[in-house]
Structure 1
Amino acid sequence: MKFTLMKTMALCALCCSFASPMIAKAAGSSYPDHPIRLIVPWNAGGSNDIAARELQKLIAGQGVTVVVENAPGATGSIGMGKAARSAPDGYTLAMGTSSTLAQIAMKLTTLRNDEFTSIARVSVDPLILLIPKDKPYKTLPQFLDYMRKNPGKVSIGTPGTHNINHIFAEMTARMAGVSYINVPYTGGSQVIAGLAGKQIDAAVLKPSESLGQIKSGLVKAVATFSQQRLQVFPDLPTFKELGYDVYPYGPLVQMAYVVAPKGLRPAEEKKLISIFSKAIDSKEFAEFAERNGFVVSPLTGDALQKEIFAVQGTLDTVGSKVFKIK
């Protein structure tokens, strides 16, 4: 009797040893089995928040729940820091941007790009210079002339500081040959509100952050910093065609992308790339991009990581030139 009991227990233990890997595999294959948190390190209503919520809707169609969490502050560094410190289990993601890369270049954050696993690029965004309505200046040359006549008094609003928006604001002032006042906000929605309310004299924003106010006549776009005219604003001239070089130190790319904390397992990484790629590559997201004036230029995984480090390199150079960062 005792021998039979021992033999039965040994058989059970052997069965469990074979079953455990199968159970673990089954558990892993169920990912994601609860909501994924996507941290947007900017205020609600800005371009990255709008894009994140569109992806949230499209991903829901795949049966996956994404919860968007806004964590603004420090030009994106607060929200990105929260993501970097989270468990690499696939349930916490963040929307990185070139602004965060600029913060790294300026040594204004302790964040590093190798603290993240790259998932998918969401957008490539052009930037434009805007002014309020009913101002004495209506064109870029007129605005630059206004800056010259009011040295050190003209204000340009940007979402955050020491980012690509700020770089282009600095370049605009350099074209006028005078100093100016940079007015940083915690997000694009606050900048456009300040501009429409005539609290600032100009702003550097994305089309997606200003389309509504442009169409309603509250603000006016005077030029785009991109190398070509924008499909959403075909009549808007570029700085380049007006005779101004805003890329003297190399091209700058303003982009948004999804990352996870470093240490994400390959299975979850592959699944996340699949989930986000399906949404980003969809017809619905392409139409959304066209309506909001940004470009869908998909990159995922290692290819995206390579692009992030390339943009970082350019920003490191630009930062040392524009802001004298050593």
Structure 2
Amino acid sequence: MIIARRAILAALTAATIAGPAALAHAQSGYPTREVRWVIPWNAGGSNDIMARVLLPILEKEGLRVVIENVPGGTGAIGMGQVATARTDGYTIGNGTSSTLAIIAQGKVPLKNEQFDHIIRVSVDPLILVVSGKSGFKTLDEFLAHMKANPGKVTIATPGSNNINHIFAAMTARGAGVDYRHVPYPGGSRVVAELMGGQVQAGVLKPSETMEQIKSGDLRPLGVFENKRLDALGDVPTFKEKGIDVFPYGPVVQMAYIAAPAGLDPKVRDTLTTKFKAALTSAEFKDFAAKNGFIIDPLSGKELDAEVSKVADALAEVAKHVFAKP
């Protein structure tokens, strides 16, 4: 995380500050060209997958976007670039609860006030998965293995000090033992390392693992929710096994579109309208249903309030989960 902090500070120092005219003046007829959409995670992860599904739908709505993957720092490197971009509507990024978590903990030199929050893309449950070749067929078997091997079992997550990391810790807490946390710069890397046998389990979203689950390359063992998912109806929740994964309060994993603070209201409205049309399209709804996530396109003051609420909850939970002994 020290490297991430240095990279973000360098970006903030090198960024060109837009002049008053650029800040106040929205280009006529916005959008007149392609919009750069920063996905602050590796290609192949859930945010990247969703963006690429939305890309042709957005184009039908008159918004042409170019996706750029800028992984690192649990999303903070890419979002740092968004924060320092010109406020003309031609740079947007994918904010997530993971990045909110490290901002809330003061791990990176970013503030939520540096962004205009446009619209929520998804609310995502998280699941514990193992390789399809793993000897663990059930959550009970995996937890028993953890108990028999305290401090030795590896659980991978995309990033660290985020919700995935919290639930990895809650898995170990449910087993009553310590574990080895292995962070990677994105969900696609976790999937690759799981399938390669480099780690024993991972905490991921259904939307970034469904293809591998259907092919048998990955096996879901448990859902970090209070009720089962429709898309994975045969996978039990941790609650069913008597394990409370929310002992310090509820936390939610979500993704949303953010832009540099200070957008022209007309540009913000245009982005909101076009994204909402794409998110509520029949095509994207079908994709959401098949991949186990919820579409709830909050925008405006409601999204601002939700971002603050989620950030506060994550900061509180992090105090307990990541507190140094």
Shared fold (TM-score, shorter chain, > 0.5):
yes
Contact 2:102–2:161 under 8 Å retained in 1: yes
Query: Match of 2:54?
Result: 55
* Equivalent position of 1:168 in the other structure: 167
2:124 match: 125
* Residue pairs, 1:129-148, within 5 angstroms: 129-148=128-147
Alignment correspondent of 1:99: 98
Residues 44-89 of structure 1: CA deviation (Å, up to 9, x unaligned): 1110001111221111112221111100001100000000000111
Q: CA 1:299/1:62 → structure 2, altered by over 3 Å: closer, same or farther?
A: same
Q: TM-score, normalised by structure 1?
A: 0.90
Instruction: Report the equivalent of 2:38.
Output: 39
Q: What letter corresponds to residue 283 of structure 2 in structure 1?
A: E
- 3-state DSSP class of the match of 2:239? coil
Which 10-residue stretch deviates more, 105-114 or 41-50?
A: 105-114
1:299 aligns with 2:298: yes
Contact 2:27 2:88 survives alignment (8 Å): no
Q: Tell me the secondary structure at the aligned position of residue 256 of structure 1.
A: strand
> Contact 1:129–1:202 (CA<8 Å) still a contact in 2?
yes
Per the normalisation by structure 2, the TM-score is 0.90
How many residues end up aligned between the 2 structures?
302
The aligned residue for residue 76 of structure 1 is 75
Instruction: Check the 8 A contact 1:119/1:300 in 2, yes or no.
Output: yes
Q: Is the 8 A contact 1:156 1:169 kept in 2?
A: yes
**Matched-pair contact (CA < 8 Å) for 1:105–1:319:** no
Q: Percent identity?
A: 53
- Post-superposition, which runs of at least 4 consecutive aligned residues in structure 1 deviate over 4 A? none
| Structure of greater Rg | 1
Counterpart for residue 312 of structure 2: 313
Shift of 1:29: 4.4
Question: How big is each residue's C-alpha offset from its partner over 1:111-141, in whole Å with a ceiling of 9 and x where there is no partner?
Answer: 1111100101000001000112343332112
- What CA distance in whole angstroms lies between the structure 2 residues aligned with 1:325 and 1:37? 39
Contact kept, 8 Å, 1:44 with 1:70, in 2: the verdict is yes
Q: Which residue of 1 aligns with 2:244?
A: 245
Which residue does the alignment assign to 2:273?
274
Supply the distance in 1 between the matched residues of 2:35 and 2:263 (Cα, whole angstroms): 14
Query: Secondary structure, in 3 states, of the residue corresponding to 1:318?
Result: helix
CA distance in 2, matches of 1:32, 1:97: 25
Runs of 5+ in structure 1 lacking a partner? 1-23
